[in-house]
Structure 1
Amino acid sequence: MRTLLPRLLALTLSAAFPLPAFAAQTYALVVGVDQYPNDVSLDGAVRDAEDVYASMSAAGFKVKKFTNAEARKDDLRKAWTDMVAEAVSGDTIIFTYAGHGAQMPELIAGDEADGLDEFLQLPGFDRNRYEETSKEIIVDNEMNAWFAEAEGKGVHVLFVSDSCFSGGMSRSIKGKSRLAPAVTVKLAPPSQEAVAGAALKEINFKQVTVLAASLESQPTPEVIIDGEPRGALSWSFARAVEGSADRDGNGIITRIELEDYIFSNVKNRSEALQVPNFMPQVARSESEVVVTLTRGIPAATGDTATTTNDAGTIPKTIKTVKELGWTGKIALQIDGEAARPTDAEGTGTPFRWDVATGTFYTPNGDVAAENVGADRIQPVVDKYVLLDFLKAMASQNPGTVSLAPVKDIYAAGQRLRFDAPPGRYPNMLVFNLANTGEVQFLDMQAAGTSSSEFKLTDVEIVKPFGADHLITIWTGEPVDAIGAVLSDKNVTAATLLQALLTRLDGKEASVAIQPLYTRETL
């Protein structure tokens, strides 16, 4: 996949952001488009925009939001110009876009290594009437010109693009891709700015960070989150701005904090379909700030967890999973005659169980388990109720694990390696939620000053196929009782859920989830 990021790859990005004062203002331009009269419409981009808008407004940002037909280029340009005019050095402008992206032959010969320019597609664009509607696209060159205006005033820019420009996928996903058809014929530039902006690739941008939904080789699909089609990047960014990415609770989100949070939660929420892409790829410094939470983090009430930074101990609220929207149920569509399992009366886009074939599908359309009969459906349902619980926990404090080689799906006979690095907490639990619903205990480390690395090497993919989820939990809370539950060879997902609810819900714990999708052949 090729996004707006390659446009910035040629830039020399070496300087660090200065640490902004808390008085600095953050402006935001939020765009979300579902309704494309001249193209395939989307289902979740406006939800993304509304979610991001709400989180930014609560954080004290000055936000302008444009959705569907409101997203006209002239109006977006004016909003950007007004923000740049009002902003002063040290302020930040965040531009978030959820909608279609597309490609076109390069506007300036020799300007692009692959001969293609990328553009954000607004609802008024019709590729069959390009001359009449060309002003309703925003080309990568134009984006550079916009960014340069802010850069010239010493204003920081964060561009979050939840869109798609190319790529394909191996897994069968029924959600829509945020990829519009490419323009295939050579066209005139949509604006003089699109021509002039080509020269800006040599500018040494020092205060611009771009965050794209996926790597070049991947699509950006809409996935099901909390029962609704969403963009995994937008959902994760909204949670980040709510304060979840502010690991030390000091009211600012550094580039490193944002990376750690976004990478983990996009993987969790997209079921490992996406890997976000930052530009520059490496933080300019350890203290580089990308988001200032103007209002800071409110003092916690009730149960709180504390984290420590150089300024001392700062209270930070840890919500319970129910406060985060967890219901303890999943939605399930049953195709065929069978009794409904318990905890399968949830709402939203459902899982699907084909009774005749025994195939169990995720809301995204993936095959999660095979040969699921009436005697096995309850453990599979219980697994996903537990997994939703763990995803809710991870949304507040995600951990990082890795699977190599990185693929969205693995075939029988392939070998892989799983690594869980040491956490910043002394206790660690590692287990697998198999596609059968079985809980497989892998490791427990307790009562140390810090956990040590856990590795699974040379693991071979074998039957049964479907979706496994490798789970790692790091915490300062005692884990012996949970370990005792896990070590019981007859442990079920429902029993483990009760142990985790009792011991860790509302407590400080970091959770990492590594989806592992398998098939007999690709």
Structure 2
Amino acid sequence: MRALNTILLVAMAWLLLSTQASLAASPIVLHLQNPDGGAIRGLIIGIDAYEHVRPLKGSVADARDIEQSLRQMGTNDVITLTDAQANRSSVLQHISDLVQRTTSNDLIILSIAGHGAQEPETIKGSEPDGLQDVFLLPGFAPTPEGSRQRILGSEFNHFIRQFELRGAKVLFVADTCHGGGMARDIDPRAAEMSFRQVSKYTLPVDKLVPVTNESDPVSDLDLDRTAFLAAVDRNTKAPEVKIPGIDGLRGALSYAVARAFEGGADANHDGKVTLKELFANVRQVVYQLSDQRQNVVTKASPGRSVESDVVFQLAQGPTLAATPGPTVPPKPMIPAPPAALSRDLAVAPAPTEISAPIRLAALGSRTNNLAKLTSRNAAIEIVPPVDNPDLIWDSKSRDVISWGDVVAYGIDERDLVSVIDRTAAIRELKRIATKTPQTLRVAPDDGQYHKGRTVQIELSDVTSRAIILFDISGDGTIQMLYPLGSDAPISQTGNLRLQLKVREPFGAEQVVAVTSTKRLPDLEQAILQLDRRKAPGQLIKILNTYLSPDARVGSIGFFTAP
């Protein structure tokens, strides 16, 4: 068992360098293609502006993102309804119109982002717990008239059946939630988080008249040609999250699906995205972006093969010539002898581009000097605790909280810059790991780990792939985890499980996995030279320099406490 030093992370945010080769290459323009030969059609819904329940912040942006991805990938039949446009009569009319346009072998993409809820089932026996999922529309309220502004899960099953009867396949994306649990408790000092779920309610008078007929499926398991992606399971809340490089909050599932449409889910680069590839890609991207607060639920109709059923293809379109721009190639790293791992690396500093600032808030009275904080690696903006900060510093306890989790304990004001730099670096790691993710999980659960507890890091789908695994501790110290000593650098099995033991100091950890078809000795050596050193900025530049084109990167955080 390997000891994992859980100490405070200091990070330097380096913008990823583009190499001469990538600039010289002409990008290939891809477009989506239906493998069955039919059209691809979409109805996309996003609702933030609820009139009578708590509004959301990222659902409209989610809808626009998916719409834009579909259109830029060549799909023209896309209808997007946002906020007030998504009232019940409008949604039903557009679904009806879409059914009429649908022909045999079409692929129908239905996506909804907004609030969800649970109510007693209307079709007896359709749900094991007797509760059905409900999707709330902008005018919903627990009043007689407000009750009309919702769509029942059984109604969506009815609509999906209509598409299937016309010979189409359906991909249904539900970026909402219906339960009330969480993977980890939220620190009460954290800024209020936004979840896509409303409090329980009762309907004294329900004026909704469901759309139904006798041939409707009892449950989604009775559908024949449909695949489902849901943000969380029926017992968990779906948070709106921060996406690296994007302002505001978003739904992690919608973001992941949009990137999948753009080619991110084609794991083996054969131009075909199977259900297995789509599910695995979206599941890992959401898991990473949500800091392990979300586990996506994926389902397919019993008649569809997850292993081999192709959801969509990526067909090559016209090639656009790249316009070379000015570039500063990085100087090669000079490898240090193995016995001198603590010596400095001769690495040319990467040009630093500061984008969105790190938003810092403080609790308590000892905050007068925060405005004087400066960093060479990240812009700093001081904001109130209620103004969506990236970090909150409790000056009394000296804890630093980020998005509901304590990321560092016992941090003095003079050490805050280190935590700020860490936050900037984690942004870059998430950005890298979203492009071609390696499946990476924390076990036994995604909760908070205490001193002495064993954490298991699990990699899957790594047969015949070279593996590098390392940790960035709370203070930015790099720790090589694999391969070490007699470890086999290339996996002979499909899975790798590595046990780590938690010890103080406590806070946030970021475990990163890199896998590739061939061993990357230069990358291994470079990381070993950083072992036990506080150098996350150099690490990010090293990854950009030595990652192979076929590399997959997984990056997950977990949290420890006394």
Is 1:201 matched up with 2:219? yes
Instruction: Supply the AA of the counterpart residue of 1:498.
Output: K
Instruction: Supply the AA of the counterpart residue of 2:179.
Output: S
Query: Which of 316, 324, 333 does residue 360 from structure 2 map onto?
Result: 333
In structure 1, the partner of 2:110 is: 95
Aligned-residue sequence identity (percent) comes to 26
Distance 1:73 1:252, change over 3 A: farther
Is 1:235 matched up with 2:268? no
Instruction: Supply the AA of the counterpart residue of 1:403.
Output: V
State the TM-score, normalizing by the size of structure 1: 0.82
Moved more, 229-238 or 443-452: 443-452
Pairing 1:284-303 to 2, within 5 Å after superposition: 284-293=305-314, 296=316
Distance 1:284 1:101, change over 3 A: same
Note the C-alpha offset of 1:474.
Answer: 1.4
Structure 1: gaps (5+ residues): 1-18, 304-321
RMSD of Structure 2 on Structure 1 (CA): 3.2
In structure 2, the partner of 1:361 is: 401
Distance 1:229 1:192, change over 3 A: closer
Moved more, 333-342 or 59-68: 333-342
Note the C-alpha offset of 1:344.
Answer: 2.2
Q: Work out whether residues 96 and 159 of structure 1, in 8 Å CA contact, stay in contact via their aligned partners in 2.
A: yes
Q: Work out whether residues 341 and 377 of structure 1, in 8 Å CA contact, stay in contact via their aligned partners in 2.
A: no
Instruction: Supply the AA of the counterpart residue of 1:442.
Output: L
Note the C-alpha offset of 1:301.
Answer: 6.4
Distance 1:232 1:192, change over 3 A: closer
In structure 2, the partner of 1:373 is: 412
Cα distance in 1, alignment partners of residues 460 and 74 from structure 2: 36
Q: Structure 1, residues 287-307: CA drift from partner, whole Å, max 9, x if none?
A: 2122345x557658679xxxx
State the TM-score, normalizing by the size of structure 2: 0.76
Instruction: Supply the AA of the counterpart residue of 1:341.
Output: S
Query: Which of 511, 514, 522 does residue 556 from structure 2 map onto?
Result: 514
Pairing 1:331-480 to 2, within 5 Å after superposition: 331-333=358-360, 335=362, 336=367, 337-338=369-370, 339-345=373-379, 349-354=388-393, 356=395, 357-362=397-402, 364-374=403-413, 376-421=415-460, 423=462, 426-444=465-483, 454-457=496-499, 459-476=500-517, 479-480=520-521
Instruction: Count residues with an aligned counterpart.
Output: 476
Moved more, 332-341 or 174-183: 332-341
Q: Work out whether residues 246 and 257 of structure 1, in 8 Å CA contact, stay in contact via their aligned partners in 2.
A: yes
Pairing 1:28-107 to 2, within 5 Å after superposition: 28-61=42-75, 62-107=77-122
Cα distance in 2, alignment partners of residues 300 and 419 from structure 1: 40
Note the C-alpha offset of 1:31.
Answer: 0.4
SS in 2 for 1:456: strand
Note the C-alpha offset of 1:149.
Answer: 0.4
Is 1:223 matched up with 2:241? yes
Query: Which of 230, 234, 240 does residue 212 from structure 1 map onto?
Result: 230
In structure 1, the partner of 2:527 is: 486
Instruction: Supply the AA of the counterpart residue of 2:274.
Output: T
Q: Structure 1, residues 349-378: CA drift from partner, whole Å, max 9, x if none?
A: 54225272432222x232211122356444
In structure 2, the partner of 1:5 is: none
User: In terms of Rg, which structure is larger?
Assistant: 2
Which is bigger in relative contact order (C-alpha 8 A, separation at least 6)?
2
Instruction: Supply the AA of the counterpart residue of 1:361.
Output: I
Cα distance in 1, alignment partners of residues 427 and 131 from structure 2: 40
Cα distance in 1, alignment partners of residues 309 and 200 from structure 2: 36
Instruction: Supply the AA of the counterpart residue of 1:390.
Output: L
Distance 1:139 1:224, change over 3 A: same
Cα distance in 1, alignment partners of residues 316 and 243 from structure 2: 27
Cα distance in 1, alignment partners of residues 202 and 216 from structure 2: 20
Structure 2: gaps (5+ residues): 1-32, 324-349, 382-386
In structure 2, the partner of 1:309 is: none
Note the C-alpha offset of 1:477.
Answer: 7.0
